[in-house]
Chain A
């Protein structure tokens, strides 16, 4: 499996996005966020997606030169129009704006419309935590329909994920980030490619029966929700907040929306006590005796922090077919594969 140093690989990805018509500054930002997902240990949301984004540019789904703009604003609310550009830009804009407003007003909420895909959700929670605010972001809407409601036999929901950040003043924050489906669809693809079965909690066949055979998923099956009726209820909550409240639900081009909430840790006057209590909460978790099969109890966000430390040093490993797909994409845009390869290797 080829391994690349982080910065050169990111620069190579940016060059491909530029060749597809993306302005240089936007291409660098987007490549940086994608590499951030690889560094966090979530390759599924990382640079392997470059060819997908290029395809989205070619079909007109993503307008690569568009930049987000604020279309409505009050002291505590903001609506960001992504203008069908890269969703990363709109997600960053709404996060920054909501964080700034929360620090002034105690609490603030934001929405993204016409946003496109916004990448790994945890990135926005991490950004908000850096700004020092408690943060909640949901992303979803009526598209894909690859998740079955509890008790149903057909997909009617998206994976409708959410992320939550709890900064703790001077120590690493907690970053929760999960899909309300049992797993992301990518895990079913991975299992199929490896010829593995999956736990029956993950998928149903076309009759709504739990199954362990990935083939059933691809023949009209669907993902199940996390924890049965619980993940189902949360999925609907995410859809209502992200798409219905923002009116993206009726936008055929871009039905997935973003809801973001920022809270000043001192909103109720508990600022220092909040930070101390939150550090104590983290300590209570980490000091829990581990269950069999675990070395330790972590808090959400620990895994990503460790991955970053490791991968920054070792570089980003990419399966050969994934790297080849990126090179093919570059070639199709008139770039020279060998030049991209040299750039990515930092030669």
Chain B
């Protein structure tokens, strides 16, 4: 009886000790360290990349390149922006960046008065350098330090040349652009016109539209009614390529048409892969990101002052649909 009691208690003690130890190790396991507090204002350089089109493949690449470069230069960089061309939000982000007194702003150029006001007056007032990336705004209007991105005029030329190469020297070309043209669109258009004007047999119809899918579709409809013999389409705003093709596809075969656009649209790459686009002008978004940070840092650290206000151009080349080549 006695030994039984002692054995029972001993067994209980062993079991309970084990459970206690297991429980204790769980309970007293050191918690995840909280992020270390930075007590002093260790002011590292803060840069902001602001775009209107967050989470598009093109701008993701720009952001990626910029972040890579920022890491290399050991400066802090955040990508801000608005989704789906929300201009108000975009401008707000700009304003916040300026009021936050960041050390530099890399921004997708927006050809509006408000934007220009912000860069020209506010940013200048706080002494914040602004670099445009991918889409430029003329220096006189924006007081940007420089531009990093493709030569849009050259890009337009390239697209037009490709068009001529495929379509031949005669035909009717419809060019879809924004109602209110941004600077980079003007450049592109100028590039295209520059080439196409050399061929007298090529007629160009240029039409602006508002930035909604319905509008793009209805504009395309009108255009196709007005110019039924059109053989080629160029969407200067790459985002319009999608609805445009959709509308064309609704009416007739997409295949026979020569459709071109640029790669900064949401659907550009997909459409090209599907063979609906005949060609896309490819830019180097990652390079743009890297270069922009690099040049901004050159300016901030005072290595290169002033920066070349003409801009630092990145490569462009033409991507042609495999399907069309058959």
Determine if chain A interacts with chain B.
Answer: no
